[in-house]
Amino acid sequence: MQTILVTGGCGYIGAHTIVDLIENGFNVISVDNLSRSSENSLAGIEKITGKKVKNYNIDLTNAQAAESIFTENPNITGVIHFAAYKAVGESVEMPLAYYENNIFSLVNLLKLAVKYNAMHFIFSSSCTVYGNPDTIPVTEQTPLQPAASPYGATKQMGESIIKDTAFVAPLSTILLRYFNPVGAHPSTAIGELPIGRPQNLVPAITQTAIGKLATMQVYGDDYDTRDGSCIRDYIHVCDIARAHTLALQYSIKNNQPKSCEIFNLGTGNGITVLEAIKAFEKVSGLALNYQIGPRRAGDIVAIYANNDYAVKKLGWEIKYSLEDMMRTAWDWEKSIAAKN
């Protein structure tokens, strides 16, 4: 049984990926400093899998503290690196915090992966690396445009750092560029739980519907799209989680040091913000209280994926529809309300 270190393991995508890894026979260790997440995720993971996952409450920008994980667990064979700040709007307001947290933690981890022979390194990248692309859908070969936010810039830099490291180090690296993860585990044991006011669309929708927020804002209805709102590629978090396990298995099977491969993780369908709201209203039977506001700094007009490469090379399948995404997100929100 191979031991995998998942950074940001108490976070939204990290927790769902830990579940998928355990269900596919991996032993998992988590590191999460809980600055943007909650240890409640660990209880949810245990409820689903029956396995208790150890979490190190460590800030990965502290190289000495990060190394203690590897000295205590010398059998780590792979790292899946989620730990990062990820709010586009916040990154525009706090660029230095994003550069420091997202880049320093990555550099420290890569050094440790090389030093302790954790050969398989999977990086949580993002469609923000494409900036405002000239053509959509984007493939892995689509030229990268200037990032529209400091967050996107940290993902572009992160990819460059990993590629340069993989060129000289005995690492098998995979960059997973995901689009807009939404939804929750069907069990409602884990889901997206933003700290403070939600920065992402779907938790803003569900928190408005449940009454936590009085209203939500759609940022702009004057874009050159079908209905004037931004177009994104929404994908269920469990489909994203599955792709991480498949990427890890692919890396282990091929066992190629000094390698770096890139995969888009999206459904291939572009959905407008207003279409996403309509899908939620259909699933929930509720009319959502939303307002149209001005455009938000850092937002691009439209992006969605060509996912052919991941489907072909990883054997990845999209299992959840847009309605499934909204239904599981709503079930999760209602389960939180029932506990409080």
Report helix angle 95-115 to 150-168, nearest 10. Answer: 20
Give the lowest-confidence range in 6-10, 93-97, 118-122, 129-133. Answer: 129-133
Per-residue pLDDT tens for 30-67? 999 999 999 999 999 999 999 999 999 999 999 999 99
215 touches 287 (CB < 8 A)? no
Per-residue pLDDT tens for 257-301? 999 999 999 999 999 999 999 999 999 999 999 999 999 988 889
Phi, psi of 258 (to 5 degrees): 55, 45
Bridge partners of 236? 182
| Dist. CA 250–CA 232, nearest whole Å | 28
Per-residue pLDDT tens for 228-253? 999 999 999 999 999 999 999 999 99
Q: Share the mean pLDDT of the chain.
A: 97
| Dist. CA 37–CA 138, nearest whole Å | 31
| Dist. CA 303–CA 306, nearest whole Å | 10
CATH of region 3-184+234-267+310-314: 3.40.50.720
pLDDT at 89: 84
Read off the pLDDT band of 199 (50, 70, 90).
confident
Question: What is the number of H-type helices and E-type strands within the chain?
Answer: 11, 13
Sign of CA dihedral 209, 211, 215, 219: negative
Per-residue pLDDT tens for 171-185? 999 999 999 999 999
Read off the pLDDT band of 168 (50, 70, 90).
very high
- Tell which CATH classification among 3.90.25.10, 3.30.9.100, 1.20.200.10, 3.40.640.10 matches the domain 201-231+269-305+321-339: 3.90.25.10
Q: What is the mean pLDDT of residues 96-111?
A: 98
pTM score > 0.85 for this model?
yes
pLDDT at 297: 84
7 touches 79 (CB < 8 A)? yes
Q: Where are the domains of the chain?
A: 3-184+234-267+310-314, 201-231+269-305+321-339
Annotation says 223 is catalytic: no
Q: Exactly one of 56, 85, 130, 151 is catalytic; which is it?
A: 151
Instruction: Spell out the residues 6+ positions from residue 338 whose beta carbon is closer than 8 angstroms to its own.
Output: none
| CB contact burial 125-157 (16+ within 10 A = b; e otherwise) | bbbbbbbebeebbbbbebebeebbbbbbbbbbb
Q: What percent of the chain has pLDDT over 70?
A: 100
| Dist. CA 138–CA 207, nearest whole Å | 31
| Dist. CA 105–CA 61, nearest whole Å | 4
Q: With CA atoms as reference, report the closest residue to 79 among 117, 52, 50.
A: 117
Reply yes or no on whether the pLDDT at 28 is more than 90. Answer: yes
Reply yes or no on whether the pLDDT at 340 is more than 90. Answer: no
